[in-house]
Amino acid sequence: MKFKLNVPNALTLIRIICTPIVIALFLAPIPNGIGYFCALGVYILACITDFLDGYIARKYNLITDFGKFMDQIADKFITTTAIILVLLAANTTYTWAAVLMTLIVVLRDILISGIRMVASNKNIVIAADIFGKVKSFFLDLASMVLMFFIGLSQVVDKAWVEYFKVAGLALMIVGVILCVVSCVNYIVNTIKAFDNLEAEQK
């Protein structure tokens, strides 16, 4: 896999670099919620690069093997990091639920990566489905809302602040449900692809 530093690949690398920056800002003991708000800003920037790298790569025919490989890794880095940080810091009453949602997202990504790797060995491409794309949108939005809530709760002691927490958790639950739906859809599509390949070889 040959590396070529074009604009989409540079944006993908920026997203990877954003991950430890988000962690550092989120966990640093910066007063008045400033660290959380700064982490939110960097996270939003990372999400923007996720949209731009794919758009630019397709529009200007700059798609590379490195980009396709690293884009998935960069997405998992930043999204999974944000989910873990916000769910464990949002003072969720049911900690087991936060852990369960995190595990579903992480294990789903591991399973899909394994499926894609096995399929690629047979020269089968399992394209991203609509459920996966919508799932990413809900998870990213949920992380943003919860990150905003965590920062806001440091400076505003009002009951209405909790509405952001409820909204963020609701978005996260929808995202996790779509994770499961997307995973099942990937498995079904992979089985169909292998069946078609086997039928062609007969």
Taking only the tens place, the pLDDT of each residue in 121-135 is 777 766 667 888 899
Per-residue pLDDT reduced to its tens digit, 43-76 = 999 999 988 888 888 888 887 777 777 887 888 8
Distance separating alpha carbons of residues 14 and 6, to the nearest angstrom: 12
Question: Are the CB atoms for 43 and 22 separated by under 8 Å?
Answer: yes
- Angle in degrees, CA 116, 191, 100, rounded to 5: 65
Burial of 10 (C-beta count, 10 Å sphere; 0-12/13-18/19+):
middle
Tokens for 72? 């998935």
102-115: pLDDT as tens digits: 899 989 988 988 88
Whole-model pTM above 0.95? no
Which DSSP symbol is given to 28? S
State the pLDDT at residue 193: 82
> Which domains does the chain possess?
7-201 (1.20.120.1760)
- Indicate the burial class of 188 (C-beta count within 10 angstroms; 0-12, 13-18, 19 or more): exposed
pLDDT tens, 123-176?
776 666 788 889 989 999 999 999 999 999 999 988 899 999 999 999 999 999
